[in-house]
A and B are shown apart, each in its own frame.
Chain A
Amino acid sequence: MTVITRRTVLTGAAAATAVGTVNVPVASAGDDKADLASFIDISVALTGIAQEKLAPDLDPINIKQAYFEQAQKDPAFDDLLARWRNRPAGAGAEVFFTQRDPVRYLARNIIIAWYLGGWCKTEVLESYDVPNPPPFPIPFTVINAAAYTQGWAWRVAQAHPMGYSELRFGYWADKPFALPVLIGSKK
């Protein structure tokens, strides 16, 4: 199999990944409105999708609420919020990934939710976080039907979830919309 090497790109980019530019008022865990606001900021930092696309002000599908409630059930949720709120100035989502701990897997689950509409058991993600992981694919639960149809993996591919297109006959003959149009201008 041919190998694509892009380690150098990643190393450089990871160091420069400073996302999450929204200032959040300090709030204690348990304040639902503030927690949701933090959850959205965290989601923007984790997904690389602009807030106006991820959780727009006018949001009839409101998928963020389903993900927020899913995340709240995770025992590491308070730790995740605390780590975000207490991160050093200029730091971004890398604060979630410094060690093999439940916050890391919760953060990954939040990405999986936004990208694929799925949620893994923590121990499943932990079991794959080793040099020789179990056989694939990684099992997860689809959070709900809307979670699948709102998946960002397809939009980042400049496409749409299979079985859910809002486009018209023949669109496939042309180039898709440019990526910034789909994921928002702010990264």
Chain B
Amino acid sequence: MCADTTADVVIIGSGMAGALIAKELGRAGKKVLILEAGAELPADTNGYMRTFYNAYFKVPEIPYPPDVFTPTSSSDLNDLTDPGTVNAGRPTVMSLLPTNWQDPAKSYLIQKGPLPFASTYERINGGTSRHWLGTSLRNVPNDFVMRDKYGVFVDWPLRYDGSADKSLNLKQWYTKAERAIGVSADVADQTYLGVTFDQPYPMPKIPLSYLDTKLSEGLKGFSQDGTELKVRSTPAARNSQPYQDRRVCAGNTNCIPICPIQAKYDPSVTLAEAFRTGNVDILYRTVASDIVVGENGRVGGIKFVRYREDKGPRTEEGTAVGKLYVIAGNAIETPRLLLMSMNRKGVANSSGLVGKNLMDHPLYLAWALMPADKPVYPYRGPLSTAGIEDLRDGPFRKQRGAFRIEIGNEGWNFPIGDPQRTTMDFINGLNQSGLNSGSGGKPGPAVWGPQLVENLNRVLPRQFRLAFLIEQEPEESNRVALADAKDGLDLPRPEIHYDLSPYTRRGMAAAKRLATAIFNKLGATEFTQPAPGAPSEFPSPDNPAERIQFYGAGHLVGTYRMGTDKWKSVVDADQKAWDHDNLYLVGCGTFPTVATANPTLTLAALSLRTVDHIVKKVLN
């Protein structure tokens, strides 16, 4: 069955990049068709919330289809969905368990190692921004010029504000992006390391948490590499005032996986605005399978496959035809599509770089307990409201990965799944949390009643964690390829080759040292330890007897990089494929380096810059 469609612009993917571009095209009077691989949103998100409440494993992907478990509430790992059976699969946190990460029946990604790629994503209306945190930092100016400034990596073809050619400066596009998604922040707090502002943020900052304030007080005068560690509020796409007809944040401490009141921006907001232009249409459960390139080098259409049920058969096939095409998958799904196109000869790949330079912010997680007389009252407020940003740049970047530090408001939930684990320890007389130690190395006894209250209240209000997001070195050997394993539509799944370079590992080791120094300065007791059997660990470069575990930050970056030389990059500064005049590749895959900010705001700024270029210079 054929369902051919036409539009001015065909967009693949309805995440942040696809949504922002669709809306602006629609406003400019261009007819847009979006193909979204995953499901539409339900009429309201209460069903997602119920799924979340009822789930045992409250992982970032759990509220969303396709089901992570069958049923989604299962606590039995044998009930994990086989990704080979679903039509629009994706990696999940469950697929990263030691027993699962290299099992094709448990992991959508075919992970070839040596280390696991530890981040996940969604394929659904809104893309992975369904479960994002909302952090909306700008890159610092030196993030764009690592080669020029420090002699490592490559420079971006764009600058923060330092280019004489003003069209190559991203600063004004950051401002537009902050308005488009609604960022709450304070200019004074965000003016550091060369970042400057011409205009205020659209909303005042989200207040610091009680924890943030206590850490700020406790770290007063504490320096690292000559830089004082200042706790700064984090810009967030969370409402501090009513904005875009959405409510203010109520501090549900659940930005990931789902804000119950949509105080956090997600792309469905922009998609709704796009649809209201009357020019934008979308096909859900529609998987792009082949980009067709004509003899003139221009893309002539994108073949797609449709399905109705997550595990059901193909129901339709067709070709979407437009004047211009925008691939807005993520840094794994976009190269997957490019590589599988044209009978696997590939598209946009004369540089040979499609799929290469896969990056993340490998995340070093450290957790501790504040002194008994200094509770910090976690499990309250947005998941994170502040960070330490001043170490994102410095001469040390010649030798090791820089990082920012995210302060978490959710106690030890990220590290060990608390308060569940500690509660179970006290109820059952166990000590997996480290907080129920008895004499002689044995766990403390099982308790109940007032003693249980006392034990829990003595420790839970003192928990906190720090997450260090390390800049990963781009390496061509870290790459996305096509696996032999197939998904439910018989399309090849992504195969991942991944490792952390010595440069990146030195950044992780520096994070580990600093975490311990911070805890010491605060008088806190550190409990950080790698999870038993975790595949995402490596020996510390400081001391090979010590293991360092890393986590994924969910930042998929780099696999179709932008540049100024068509043989050394896949797209130009406008995110247009060098090889095809009417093909644009957007999203974090175009970042030449992962930089030191969470990537979403930069993705949004680049998307708005690209659609402006398309509207004014290409389709006009």
Contact = CB atoms under 8 A, between A and B. Distances in A.
B250 A4 contact: no
A140 B56 contact: yes
A156 to B, nearest CB: 5
Interface size, B (range): 35 or more
Nearest to B526: A2
Interface string A140-171: 11101110110001101111101111011111
Secondary structure type dominating chain B contacts: loop
B195 to A, nearest CB: 25
Most buried by B among A10, A17, A108, A131: A10
B409 interface: yes
B477 interface: no
Contact of B445 (A5, A14, A157): A14
B52 interface: yes
Chain A residues touching B, range: 35 or more
Nearest to B438: A7
B249 A169 contact: yes
Given A154-B419, A172-B381, A179-B457, A93 B451 contact: no
A103 interface: no
B283 interface: no
Contact of B430 (A13, A115, A133, A175): A133
B448 A48 contact: yes
Interface in A88-120: 92-93, 96-97, 107-108, 111-112, 115-116, 118
A172 B532 contact: no
B228 interface: no
Contact of A116 (B420, B430, B446): B420
A137 B75 CA distance: 10
Given A139-B76, A175-B210, A10 B445 contact: yes
B237 to A, nearest CB: 15
Contact of B428 (A92, A125, A135, A176): A125
Contacts of A5: 437-439
A156 B428 contact: no
SS class, residues of chain A in contact with chain B: loop
Nearest to B52: A163
Nearest to A2: B525
B25 to A, nearest CB: 35
A46 B447 CA distance: 9
Contact of A170 (B75, B207, B369): B207
Contact of A136 (B419, B421, B526): B421
B575 interface: no
Given A19-B449, A142-B54, A153-B456, 16 more contacts: A10-B451, A10-B455, A112-B423, A131-B442, A142-B73, A149-B53, A153-B460, A157-B419, A157-B456, A157-B461, A158-B377, A164-B252, A165-B253, A165-B380, A171-B380, A173-B381
Interface of A: 1-7, 10, 13-14, 17, 19, 45-49, 92-93, 96-97, 107-108, 111-112, 115-116, 118, 125, 128-129, 131, 133, 135-142, 144-146, 148-149, 153-154, 156-160, 162-165, 167-176, 179, 183, 187
Interface of B: 49-50, 52-56, 58, 73, 75-76, 207-210, 213, 240, 248-254, 258, 260, 369, 377-382, 385, 409-411, 413, 417, 419-421, 423-424, 427-430, 432, 434-435, 437-439, 441-442, 444-457, 459-461, 525-527, 529, 532
